[in-house]
Amino acid sequence: MNNQSMVTEFLLMIFSNDQDEQILYFVMFLCIYLIAIVGNFLIIATIALNHQLHTPMYFFLVNLSLTDIGYITTTIPKSMVASLTDNRLISFAGCVAQVYLLMSFAGSELALLTIMAYDRYVAICHPLQYRLIMNWDACAQMAAASWISTLIYSSIQASATFKLDFCGTNIIGQYFCDIPQLQKISCTDTKVNQILTFVTAIPVDLFCAVFIFASYGYIFSAVLRIPSVQGRYKAFSTCTPHLTVFSLFYTTAIFSYMRPKTLSSPTVDLISAVLYTVLPPVLNPIIYSFRNKDIQGAVWKIPKKIRSLLR
């Protein structure tokens, strides 16, 4: 890219200028990162080792956990290294990679949550046709489509962002390379980029949100018609973790990117970015573990499964 002749590296924001506080932030984010990694790998291992969980719902949950691992790994390790070494520099190529991966994982998360809502809709509203509609070929195609479409979208957004000229300051007002922050420091008119984001991102986000809420409208209507209390509880128990995870991801994303400028400041921007990039990967496995009895039961069986595999 021609931009490298002007700016070859960027300077990321750190959480504090005090060395002791930076070490404290390093330890805190290391703990958060390990919780996210261990929690999501535990979900993946639990589903992989339990044949009863080899169903479409848990297949998409494995994809979501893999996405969360990539999502948090894109930003937190670099921030931890910056806090520990007091080196805030990120190369131009590293910034490109971070933007591309972050958008890919965020887009994949939204796409998978939308597919998972459709899966719950078919399971509850059309149970007799569930195996026919949600067969393994269909599941693989939907998962592949979510990944491919987000990779293409991320390529478009990253290419448009890094075609901008960066000839002035190279200080990014965030702890990772973020498109809005990069647009702020660009010395090129960013109106075309903003229109591109508005035309591509907002309609897709709205479609996914409307689709998910419409699916749950039909789901709740069907669940309320179930005569037994136990049947209604079981149906709700399979839906509430997904709805909670979606609400967490969507509200933090909306607050990060759609809040009014009057609520924008360096501190608020930093906090909102942490909520958006850290909370979903950390809380998703916790929510599914606490709200899903099948996952809970399977987790307790893992030591027994491991012992049997080692024999």
pLDDT in tens, 112-156: 999 999 999 999 899 899 999 999 999 999 999 999 999 999 999
- Give the residue from 121, 102, 142 showing the smallest Cα distance to 281: 102
Average pLDDT for residues 208-218, to the nearest whole number? Answer: 91
pLDDT in tens, 60-100: 999 999 999 999 999 999 888 888 887 888 998 999 999 99
Contact between 211 and 111 under an 8 Å Cβ cutoff? The reply is no
Written as one letter, the residue type at 72 is: I
Topology (CATH level 3) of domain 2-310? Rhopdopsin 7-helix transmembrane proteins (1.20.1070)
Q: Is the pLDDT of residue 50 over 60?
A: yes
Q: Residue with structure tokens 């520099």?
A: 89
Contact between 46 and 52 under an 8 Å Cβ cutoff? The reply is no
Please count the residues of the chain: 311
Element containing residue 90 per DSSP (H, E): strand 89-91
Look at 74 and 257; give whichever has higher pLDDT.
74
Give, in order, the Cα–Cα distances in Å from 8 to each of 14, 137, 164.
Answer: 20, 45, 13
- Give the residue from 111, 136, 148 showing the smallest Cα distance to 58: 136
Helices and strands (H, E) in the chain, number of each type:
12, 2
Q: CB neighbours (10 Å) of residue 17?
A: 8
CA 39 remoteness from chain centre: 14
